[in-house]
Amino acid sequence: MRNAGLSDIELLDLIKQHDASAFRVLFERYWEQLYLFALKRLKSKQDAEDAVQHVFMSIWDKRSVRNIHFSLQHYLYKSVSYECIAALKRMLDRPSDIEAVDENILPLFSDVLENMSLQELNQLIETEISRLPHRMQQIYRLSREQDLSVREIAVSLNVSEQTVKNQLTTALHRLRKPVTDAMLLLLANELMIR
């Protein structure tokens, strides 16, 4: 297949120029891992398929506005996670799926997670992350670092939100090379909102 040897970033650049064959290559590269990810969580093929469709649709759909400079894999896992939670909500809304949710998903929440304290949950998450394959560990850790919002940064640095925003914008103008992926994501986010 044409474009098959290109990197994720190169493919994304082509996709931004409406290149459907690059989109196909990207799909071939990632659909299965994302599908298995969703299937493990939702235990429903239909809903897992929907979740993957929505992830890819958002890439094609937003190709002209989005700047995925950071790790594409991280982006994909983050959005498929979000889609899984959106699918869970839809499943809880559909009477025909209630039994499946009862059997496959609810017990973990009602028997285990609900009864844990925040600290225990944090420990559990830490342990589970360390059991993941190395690559996925990175994705999860990166994702947590990025979850710091402007407001949280402001609180932790004890400055106003506006100051943080100003500094981020100035930094983006000054920097040619990103410091870290996480930093760049924050900056890109700032720019998109503008």
Partner 1 sequence: MNKEALKSIAEKYLNGTASEKEIKMMQAWMLLTEQEDASLTDQERLSAKERIWLMIDPDAQDSAETTAKPMFRRISKRMMRYAAAVLLLTGLGSVAWIYRFPILDMVDPIALKSMQSGPYEIKECWLPDSTHVTLAAGSSISYPEKYRGARRFATLRGKAFFNVARDVAHPFEVESHHMKIKVLGTSFEVDDADGREHALVTVVTGKVQVNATRQQPALLGRNQQLKFNKKSGSIAIDDTIDAGSVTGWTTKSLSFNETPLAEVLKAVAVAYQLDIQPGQQVVKSSATFSGNFSRSEYWKDVLDIICMSSDLSWSVNRSNTIVIKK
Per CB under 8 A, contacts with partner 1 among 66-125 are 66, 78-79, 81-82, 84-86, 88-89, 92-93, 96, 98, 101-102, 105-106, 108-110, 112-114, 116, 118, 121-122, 124-125
Residue 36 near residue 157, CB atoms below 8 Å: no
Q: Provide the CB-side half-sphere exposure for 123 (13 A, CA).
A: 5
49 binds partner 1 (CB under 8 A): yes
Q: What is the rounded CA–CA span in Å between residue 23 and residue 21?
A: 5
Q: How many residues bind partner 1 (CB under 8 A)?
A: 74
Residue 52 near residue 38, CB atoms below 8 Å: yes
Q: In the window 7-46, what residues touch partner 1 (CB under 8 A)?
A: 18, 20, 23-24, 27, 31-32, 35-36, 39-41, 45-46
Residues 122-161: x where in contact with partner 1 by CB under 8 A, - otherwise, as a string = x-xx--xx-xx---x---x-----xxxxxxx---------
Q: What is the rounded CA–CA span in Å between residue 59 and residue 146?
A: 20
